[in-house]
Structure 1
Amino acid sequence: MIPELADLLEVAHVVRLPMRVRFRGVTAREAVLLRGPRGWAEWAPFPEYDDADAARWLSSALELGWGEVPAPVRTEVGVNATLPAVGPEQVEAVLARYDGCRTVKIKVAERGQDLDDDVARVTEARRVAGPGARLRVDANGAWSVDDALTALTRLAPLGLEYAEQPCASVEELAQLRRTLARRGLDVPVAADESIRRSDDPLRVAREHAADLVVVKVAPLGGVAAALRIVAACGLPAVVSSALDTSVGLAAGVALAAALPQLDHDCGLGTAALLDADVVRDPLVPLAGRLTTARAAAARAAVDPARLTAYRAGAEREQWWRDRLTRAHALL
Structure 2
Amino acid sequence: MNISNRLTPRYFTLILSFMTLFLLFTHTPTDITTDSFDDSIFEASCSCKTCIMDFMDDDWFVYRYDPTITPLLNRKNSALRRDTYKWWRGLQPSSLRVNYTEVVDQMFSLFPDKDHYADTSPDRCRTCAVVGNSANLLGSHYGSLIDFHDVVIRINKGPTKGYERDVGSKTTHRILYPESAVDLDNNTHLVLFPFKIRDMQWLISTFTTGHITRTYTRVKSSIKADENKVMILHPAFIKYVYEKWLLRHGRYPSTGFITIIFALHICDQVNVFGFGASSTGTWHHYFDRSRTHFKGGPHGGDFENKTLHKLQQRNKIIIHKGYR
Question: When the two structures are superposed, what TM-score results if normalisation uses the length of structure 1?
Answer: 0.33
Higher helix share: 1
Structure whose CA Rg is larger: 2
TM-score (norm 2): 0.34
